[in-house]
Amino acid sequence: MFTMWSSLVDDDDDNRSSKRVSCSPSKSSTCSSHPPFSPSSPKKTMDEVWKDLSLSSLHHHSISTINNATANTHHAFRSTLLQDFLARPSNMDPLRTGTSTADPSSAGAATPFASPLPPPPTLLSLNSLPDFHCIDDTDPMKPHSHFHNNATAATPYMYPPFNVLAAASPAFPSFRKKRPRGSDDNSGDRRHKRLIKNRESAARSRARKQAYTNELELEVAHLIEENARLKRLQQKFCPEASAQLPKKHTLYRTSTAPF
């Protein structure tokens, strides 16, 4: 599957696969093996690429900043195919249900696309998008299951890039014409990206709140226990001290102000 992935991305794949391989054992050793003046550039490139792909970035400029000029044509037919993909959502239903059940052996249309599925989680585990490896994680957070059940959720946006790339070489080997992108496509993507980011932020916020609440509950339980223990000790060693509670509960003067 790694080889399929690297063969689809024809340019930079040597770079990328070597970077990926070298990054897999441990991040720190990778960093130390690279020249000191560009310690994090391989990882950044990989992250950038993955981020762009997984968030379904259809913007040429954001990808071409990483890749070289020959990649632009690559992204040209990526965008074209993606538009076709978006225009025919019904075709991709098998894919969606396939991904939601995490079953690579769903409908025929999904099978060639199913094989790139395993690499993304591995790829994800190497970089820094925590919420996206809820694909096969048992992440209890709600938005995770929501992704898979919601037909218009992130799922189509995570996998179409791979579909497109899978379809690219065999189906459209010489399709090189750039189609100008409409502004509504742009805002649609931006909206989706924003939606995903907002969901993640909301999930983090909920986790934060829940963690703090749990911690407080634990502390309260602990303090109650300690209080009881100390009271017992006090009673045992200083019985007269515990009898010093005020007996009278009526109001009375203690110290008065000079006026």
Query: Which residues contribute to the site for another protein (CB under 8 A)?
Result: 26-29, 31-32, 36, 39-40, 43-44, 47, 127-128, 130, 140, 197, 200-201, 204-205, 207-212, 214-219
The single residue listed with the structure tokens 């989706």 is 192
Which of 102, 202, 76 has its CA nearest to residue 158? 102
Least spacing, CB of residue 226 vs another protein, in Å: 14
Least spacing, CB of residue 65 vs another protein, in Å: 15
> What is the DSSP annotation of 95-124?
HHHHHHTT-TT--GGGHHHHTTSSHHHHHH
Least spacing, CB of residue 212 vs another protein, in Å: 4
- What is the 8-class DSSP label of residue 181? P
Least spacing, CB of residue 204 vs another protein, in Å: 6
Nearest CB to another protein, comparing residues 117 and 134: 134
Instruction: Output phi, psi for 172, to 5 deg.
Output: -125, 70
Nearest CB to another protein, comparing residues 44 and 231: 44
Nearest CB to another protein, comparing residues 186 and 210: 210
Nearest CB to another protein, comparing residues 36 and 173: 36
CA distance 170 to 48: 26
Nearest CB to another protein, comparing residues 146 and 194: 194
For the record, the structure tokens of 81 come out as 């195919």
Least spacing, CB of residue 29 vs another protein, in Å: 7
Interior/surface letters 140-176, b for 16+ CB within 10 angstroms, e for the rest? ebebbeebbeeeebbbbbbbbbbbbbbbbeeeeeeee
Least spacing, CB of residue 27 vs another protein, in Å: 5
Write out the E strands in 123-255: none
Total number of residues shown for the chain: 259
Nearest CB to another protein, comparing residues 39 and 112: 39
For the record, the structure tokens of 236 come out as 């045992």
